[in-house]
Amino acid sequence: MAGTPSSPFITECTLERTLIRNFAKLNLYKIGWSELHQYTQFVFNIYRNTFTDEQPWDLTQEDLMTMYCEDQTYFPHSVYFGFMNANNELVGTMKATQKTDLVLLPAEVEYGIDVKQLSDAFHTTPHNIWHCGRLAVNKKKAKAAGVNSRSLFLELLFQSFQQITQHPGAIFLAEADKRVYDLFHLVGVPMQQIAQGKTYLGSETYPVVISHEGMLEWMEHYTCDLTEVAA
């Protein structure tokens, strides 16, 4: 395992996972540093077995190492959410990363997004931009736990929005392919495309944003249909 991350924000990190919510057959955690390699491998496996336009994503071991290096870099500035089953196996994931002077987001590197211009357009600051990614759900393990993948996706989205909107004026930034973009709109999330697409991690994707107000409005109407275990 790699060493403990070094960062001015290290006090926000934990080595072990922290329980957020206890559901009937799944627990939702804030993932710790010690589970980060497992987390990256899970997301990679889901992406590699995802089909777009009837073709699997063409991911390699080099892509896996790139993803793991990214996660090591982002971890001190992020919240990594993960659903786990009774066997401590990941079932669903998503993460939210705050833009800092130490972090270059994928939208900056891959798409040339100017975060100063973007933040100005939303009357906020670059440090109020939160990048979301690593969205992945194992449908078979979700079904085995008696839940559908869409319910996990919605709860992961809610948790990410809740994390982001704790910061006044904060906005959501991500990369989405057509499948994910359509899914967000299907569940009522007002996502906007802000640049042309390109191939990133094996799929045609484009950068998207969600305003602070858009997240708050969606959260107002969200109802969790997962069965929570009483404390």
In the chain, where the domains are located: 11-221
Q: What is the Cα–Cα distance from 64 to 62, expressed in whole angstroms?
A: 5
Mean pLDDT by 10 residues, the chain (231 residues): 41 80 93 96 90 63 93 95 97 97 90 96 97 95 93 96 97 91 92 86 83 97 79 48
Q: How many CB atoms sit inside 10 A of residue 32's CB?
A: 17
The predicted pLDDT at position 18 comes to 95
The predicted pLDDT at position 119 comes to 97
The predicted pLDDT at position 51 comes to 55
The predicted pLDDT at position 200 comes to 64
The predicted pLDDT at position 122 comes to 97
The CATH class for the domain spanning 11-221 reads alpha beta
**Do residues 45 and 77 lie in contact, with contact meaning Cβ atoms separated by under 8 Å?**
no
The predicted pLDDT at position 4 comes to 41
Residue 155 DSSP SS3: helix
Q: What is the Cα–Cα distance from 170 to 183, expressed in whole angstroms?
A: 22
**Do residues 52 and 203 lie in contact, with contact meaning Cβ atoms separated by under 8 Å?**
yes
**Continuous segment of H or E residues that includes residue 27:** strand 27-30
Q: What is the Cα–Cα distance from 99 to 174, expressed in whole angstroms?
A: 12
Output the pTM of the full model.
0.88
The predicted pLDDT at position 198 comes to 81
The predicted pLDDT at position 199 comes to 74
Q: Give the distance from CA 69 to its chain's centroid.
A: 16
